[in-house]
Structure 1
Amino acid sequence: MIRYAITNRALYPGSEQEKQAALLAEATRWIADHIDYIQLREKDLPAAALATIARKLLQTINLTASPTRLLINSRPDIALATNAHGVHLSSSPAELTPAQVDDLSISANHPVPLITISCHTLADVQRARTENVDAILFAPVFEKPLPNQQPLPGQGLDQLRAACLAAAPIPIYALGGVTLKNIPSCLEAGATGIAGIRLFHRSAESLLTSPKSLMP
């Protein structure tokens, strides 16, 4: 089962410096546990700060020979500048396409990066399938709580199953409201892995320290 952790320094208390330090400590723990992918999703950070965090995480990955791969959310320029392993894109029409990201890398004499993409409908999935992405994050599968807002309704396991069939052979990672208890249901529906933010933080200690317990 693929594990795909997404960062969110807003979950940590303290000053901006303390939040970034906590993010680095958490992600370092993921790297030590050989989490498959880390998506650096700190959209509001200045480019320089984002690049500094990415370089520190990549250095840890290299020094520990971890198989973890680092992807930068929506910033192929940062991914190129830091030699990150890939980029995560949204399915928004305003977003760069996977082909454009590939072209940027090739023109910079870099290897073609890993690309994952978020999809929220079957039409999104079908479009992503034609775009040569490495994996699709399908969301939200389950109801997702939102701060100071009504929860975002989940699409359910039947829709996840349909997405997996539509995406094949591209793997789908279930995202949105995924918990330790419902992971088996996601895998049974055809998901290759699971993705999340809160799921991978310290409140889900057993997920990070005992990956065998999550195998179907």
Structure 2
Amino acid sequence: MRALPSRIYPVVDRADWVATLGQAGAKLIQLRLKDMAEDALRAEIRRGAALARTHGVSLVLNDYWRIAIEEGLDFIHLGQEDLDEADLPAIRRAGLRLGVSTHSHDELQRALDVRPDYVALGPVWPTKLKKMPWGPQGVERLREWKRLVGDLPLVAIGGITLARAPSCIAAGADCVSAVSDFIRMPDPAGQVRAWLDATRPADVTGGTIT
């Protein structure tokens, strides 16, 4: 099983963030675009892909698997509902690495059945970014998920901050992801560097952070 290229995984809503965060050291970035016309959407994805190549970033596209195939991207991330319509054989033939969101044991089993390259568990803590039917999973669920997935990379997401990130790694997450704690901070590039420092193996302890 191939490891993810970074312990940190910012999620961004504009292609320009790929340059800002990539220059600061983020090597795995998800581009999550919503409510855009087709032409504008494709142009933004192409710009994100170009910036990712320039800055040595593995770009993950959320949802739009057809465009990810057509544009030759590195990764696609799918939610459970996306699995209903995604052409998984086509995704594999294109060489795309696949990430899948999970929130329950049933969803985890469904994800494992499609042989992803990573699974994400969330929300670990409460999040206000979008309304979700699942309550906070907590770091103990991360420990359980890691036991269940074994060598498969595990991504923690949802309500994670700089202070909370080390406890996710200590609980078994291979990578920690966030939106607000990167792009909504006064110094996003500085935040990337701080997250990289906080998630280095020597700096991670087993403490629980709430």
Query: In 2, are the aligned partners of 1:144 and 1:151 still within 8 Å (CA)?
Result: no
Query: In 1, are the aligned partners of 2:18 and 2:51 still within 8 Å (CA)?
Result: no
d(CA) in 1 for partners of 2:51, 2:154 = 27
Partner letter of residue 214 of structure 1? T
d(CA) in 2 for partners of 1:188, 1:94 = 30
Q: What is the 5 A alignment of 1:162-201?
A: 162-201=144-183
Deviation at 1:44, TM superposition (A): 1.6
Structure 1 residue 6 corresponds to structure 2 residue 11: yes
- Structure 1, gaps ≥5 residues long: 9-22
Partner letter of residue 89 of structure 1? L
Counterpart pick for 1:48 among 39, 55, 78: 39
Counterpart pick for 1:214 among 177, 192, 199: 199
- Structure 2, gaps ≥5 residues long: 1-5, 205-210
Q: What is the 5 A alignment of 1:135-150?
A: 135-146=118-129
Counterpart pick for 2:68 among 54, 79, 86: 79
Q: Partner residue of 2:208?
A: none
Q: What is the 5 A alignment of 1:119-158?
A: 119-146=102-129, 153-158=135-140
Query: In 2, are the aligned partners of 1:37 and 1:69 still within 8 Å (CA)?
Result: yes
Counterpart pick for 1:35 among 26, 30, 35: 26
Deviation at 1:171, TM superposition (A): 1.2
Partner letter of residue 209 of structure 1? R
- Quickly say closer, same or farther: Cα 1:63–1:179, change in 2 above 3 A: closer
Question: Secondary structure of 2:84's partner?
Answer: coil
- Quickly say closer, same or farther: Cα 1:192–1:150, change in 2 above 3 A: closer
Counterpart pick for 1:24 among 15, 38, 46: 15
Question: Secondary structure of 1:144's partner?
Answer: coil
d(CA) in 1 for partners of 2:32, 2:140 = 28
| Percent identity between the two aligned chains | 23
- How many pairs does the alignment contain? 193
d(CA) in 2 for partners of 1:51, 1:138 = 28
d(CA) in 2 for partners of 1:157, 1:45 = 35
Counterpart pick for 1:92 among 81, 101, 115: 81
Structure 1 residue 102 corresponds to structure 2 residue 89: yes
Deviating 4+ runs (over 4 angstroms):
149-152
Calculate the TM-score normalised by the size of structure 2: 0.81
Query: In 2, are the aligned partners of 1:207 and 1:213 still within 8 Å (CA)?
Result: no
Deviation at 1:151, TM superposition (A): 10
Deviation at 1:104, TM superposition (A): 4.8
Counterpart pick for 2:51 among 48, 60, 71: 60
**Higher RCO (CA-CA < 8 Å; seq separation 6+):** 2
Query: In 1, are the aligned partners of 2:80 and 2:100 still within 8 Å (CA)?
Result: yes
d(CA) in 1 for partners of 2:98, 2:158 = 19
